[in-house]
Amino acid sequence: MQNSAVTVDALSETEVRRIREDFPILSTQVNGHPLTYLDSGATSQRPLAVLDAERDYLTTLNAAVHRGAHTLAAEATEAFEDARSALARFVGADDDEIVWTSNATEAVNLVAYALSNASVGRGGAAAESLRLREGDEIVTTEMEHHANLIPWQEVAARTGATLRVIPLDDDGALRMDEAARLIGPRTRLVAVTHVSNVLGVINPVEDIIAAARAVGALVLLDACQSAPHLPLDVRALDVDFAVLSGHKMLGPTGIGALYGRRELLEIMPPFLTGGSMITTVTTTEAQYLPPPQRFEAGTQRVSQAVALAAAVRYLEGIGMPRIAAHEHELGTRLVEGLSAIDGVRVLGAGIDRPRVGLASFDVAGIHAHDIGQILDDSGIAVRVGHHCAQPLHRRLGITASTRASTYVYTTRDEVDAVIAGVARAIDFFRRA
């Protein structure tokens, strides 16, 4: 399942409350109230299994990986590569198709660098075939996170390629008629988000990928908001690249990943150069390791990778289809409850559209920051601002919104608390 309605049973409230026991931070108090954490779209919380995995690595295995012949270094390397295998399995890739990065932003920039700097001198004629040139076109969308927009703006400026943008309709849905028109013979790359970090909608990426394949274009999928919440199989989707971020899927900050098809990674030039990504070095030239190590220069994020693997195993233990069902239920509850409040406009509100447990909204006459502050006074954590998606907000006629985002540990009562809190905030400001 990628973007269709979920048919498995959602998590029961009993199951969710048991899951919550694995997250120490959820038992804390904020401003004298129990924490109601509805900002998982920005950063998720971490279960004990993840916290323990990183601590156990640091207290028993910590050493430089892929270096040294001593036992500790060998065991650290094994743990590091086991983590790569766990993530590869999670997204349906092979081990050597997963490149560790600091975050998803770095992963997008890695691909952007390769497509604007590939040359005969760095990868041969095959690499030259990747390089974007004047007259080529890059297609993205009006709803992208800045991390999947600005790098392509820069590539277009460096190479002379043209950046095309699939627009949205008034409800925040992608204009698929325009997508069919914009993806054409000159298109070399389509970069699209799987799930909007503002609207919570699951985009019809299969149709976009099919259009790209029809003209021979590459596809990069931003999976930051889908990998934590939906079953994801990059090979079944037939994408060339996918990026994700650990801190949005129960893992630590400072770790992300790029999936790349093996045959593409093999001809791409490295983004960062230095130690650990070479075979032979002279004073005038260097020979690079095969991927993924070619793209992992310097000291790696070893404990973070180990912790992310623990997060993956935790999610798999619950089951991604059931997590998706839980998210869909909470997202629908959010949209229905918020839409029923006078003066609230939920962005991309159509509840008949596939979605995750995320909803952003605008309140007529009240700034998003004021809504967020009132909610915070009651211990409710939400996100306010443009959520690194200014073009989307501009298209919908606003500068900022309030976003409530759920996860596997979110209860129905917490969703109801957000809805009630928004109603109280509106009443407060209207009376004031």
Cα–Cα distance, 245 to 248 (Å, whole number)? 6
Q: H-helix or E-strand containing 37?
A: strand 36-37
Tell me, what amino acid is at 383? R
Q: Where are the beta strands (DSSP E) in 167-222?
A: 187-193, 218-222
> Are 84 and 95 within 8 A, CB to CB?
yes
Tokens of 39: 């900002």
Q: Which candidate in 126, 165, 388, 398 is catalytic?
A: 388
Cα–Cα distance, 50 to 310 (Å, whole number)? 5
How would DSSP label each residue in 298-327?
Answer: SS--HHHHHHHHHHHHHHHHH-HHHHHHHH
Cross-strand partners of 174 = 168
Tell me, what amino acid is at 251? G
Q: H-helix or E-strand containing 144?
A: none
Tell me, what amino acid is at 39? D
Tell which residue, 400, 366, 397, has the closest CA to residue 383. Answer: 400
124: left (phi over 0), alpha (psi -120 to 50) or beta: left
What is the DSSP-derived secondary structure letter of residue 114?
A: H
Cis peptide before 292 (omega within 30 of 0): yes
224 carries an active-site annotation: no
What is the DSSP-derived secondary structure letter of residue 194?
A: S
Active site residues: 388
